[in-house]
Amino acid sequence: MIELDGVSRTFTVRHRERGRLRRRAQVVEAVRDLSFRVEAGEFVGYLGPNGAGKSTTIKMLIGILTPTAGRIRVAGLDPSRRRTALARRIGVVFGQRTTLWWDLPLKDSFELSRLLYKVDREQYRRRLDELSERLDLGGLLSTPVRQLSLGQRMRGDIAAALLHDPDVLVLDEPTIGLDVVSKAAVRAFLRGLNAERGTTVLLTTHDLGDIERLCRRVMLIDHGRLGFDGTVDELRATVPGEASIEDVVARIYLGSAPAPSLEPPNYPQ
């Protein structure tokens, strides 16, 4: 469902040096020779410290950025060339940026999403009823988005991303800032979505509790390169004696534990 083959992305950054009028150009590699696959129905965690290349990867997957080199396919489409077609196959949630209209009732934001994605009205009503029940949004549909709590707004963002029933869901920090109860509700919904509907989910988060509770497979990226791709148990086993994945990941990135091999997985052709 998601394929990256030898993908790189560079940016040119200009610095002004002291005593000089001209700025010096520097090429920065945000992602380097990145290759991985996510099969249909997988729930995969994508981890890395700030600046590791996670956000750049996601922006290339949804077509906002074009790779400098390599090949990307999401649901069989080239994201940068088929953005409109891909939008109907993919849902995206950014935990720090809402897609809902701030001053409109929640149901109006959903209706705008229906029009944007050209969803049949009857199909939309069935999907909205299902999502409202599963995400406990029924009593909030007439409430302006600005009056919703953070947890309620996040549930609304997730519903908006799923109204057109996408094959792939990309989540960037979906539980950031949520309390324990709201986190549990979001996690339970995402777990059921993946198990019952077979939606492919790619999750980036700094809350490793999300990874432990939702993902069987996890990938680690650092300095733009894939450093690990395997199960949560295999990752935990790289640091013997550590009880939590948070401790393992922290020790790997702090350099106090041997980093997993940087060799990419040998995917079948």
Top pLDDT among 260 and 16 is at: 16
Between residues 89 and 25, which one has the greater pLDDT?
89
> How many Cβ atoms are within 10 Å of 112's Cβ, its own excluded?
15
Q: pLDDT averaged over the chain?
A: 87
CA atoms of 15 and 177, how far apart (whole Å): 35
The pLDDT tens digits of the residues spanning 105-146 come to 999 999 999 998 999 999 999 999 999 999 999 899 999 999
Structure letter (DSSP) for residue 90: E
Measured distance CA(155)–CA(185) in Å, rounded: 9
pLDDT digits (tens, 9 = 90+) for 153-183: 999 999 999 999 999 999 998 888 888 988 9
What residue ranges do the domains of the chain occupy? Answer: 2-89+166-254
Helix (H) or strand (E) holding 227: strand 225-231
How far is residue 59's CA from residue 7's CA, in Å, rounded to a whole number?
Answer: 13
- Report which DSSP code applies to 139: G
Q: What does the pLDDT average to over 182-205?
A: 92
- As a whole number of angstroms, the distance between CA 242 and CA 246 comes to 9
* CA 144 to centroid of chain Cα atoms: 26
53-86 residue pLDDT tens: 998 999 999 999 999 999 999 999 999 999 989 9
pLDDT at 206: 86
Q: Read off the tokens for 256.
A: 């106090």
Cα–Cα distance, 244 to 232 (Å, whole number): 10
The pLDDT tens digits for 217-231 are 999 998 889 988 999
3-state secondary structure of 225: strand
| Annotation: CATH topology of 2-89+166-254 | Rossmann fold (3.40.50)
pLDDT band for 263, please (50, 70, 90 cuts). very low
* Res. 260: pLDDT tops 70: no
Distance CA 233, CA 243 (A): 11
Q: What is the pLDDT of residue 20?
A: 72
Q: What are phi and psi of 157, to 5 degrees?
A: -65, -40
The predicted model gives 4-18 an average pLDDT of 86
Q: Are strands 2-16 and 69-74 parallel, antiparallel or unpaired?
A: antiparallel
For 23, 162, 204, 225, the CA distances from 94, given in Å and listed in that order, are: 34, 13, 10, 23
Q: Could you tell me the pLDDT band of residue 264, with boundaries at 50, 70 and 90?
A: very low
The residue written with tokens 């897609």 in the block is 99
Q: What is the pLDDT of residue 51?
A: 85
pLDDT at residue 131, as a whole number: 93
